[in-house]
Amino acid sequence: MTVSMSRQTSHRFGGPPRAAGSLAHQPQAFKELARGESTATALENHLDSLEKKIEEMLARAEEEEKNRNPQSKPSADDSAPSGESRPST
């Protein structure tokens, strides 16, 4: 009787009810926590790999764009329409 009274008293005064089997679930909880941590680590590694590939693709695309258009900004002489000359200052 004393055990059931302490369970009721603990619950009645705001404390969690004491479950007899809660200690039995701890090893399983730790296994699931470890599995979750492992999954998170694998996802982080995969995302890092994807980020590296994206950066390589962007760098390659920028390099190809430079090779297609050797001049990134037209100079003042190049911006005049063909056949017209710019006045010199």
The answer to whether position 87 is within a domain reads no
The answer to whether position 6 is within a domain reads no
Mean pLDDT of the chain: 76
C-alpha 89/C-alpha 84 separation (Å) is 16
Burial 58-71 (b: 16+ CB within 10 A, else e): eeeeeeeeeeeeee
The answer to whether position 50 is within a domain reads yes
The answer to whether position 51 is within a domain reads yes
What is the domain range of residue 25? 21-66
The larger pLDDT score, comparing residue 69 to residue 8, is at 69
Task: Give the global pTM.
Answer: 0.47
Q: What's the total number of domains in the chain?
A: 1
Using the predicted structure, report yes or no on whether residue 1 has a pLDDT greater than 50. Answer: no
pLDDT tier at 25 (50, 70, 90 boundaries)? confident
Using the predicted structure, report yes or no on whether residue 58 has a pLDDT greater than 60. Answer: yes
In this structure, are residues 7 and 17 in contact, taking their beta carbons and an 8 Å threshold? yes
In this structure, are residues 17 and 10 in contact, taking their beta carbons and an 8 Å threshold? yes
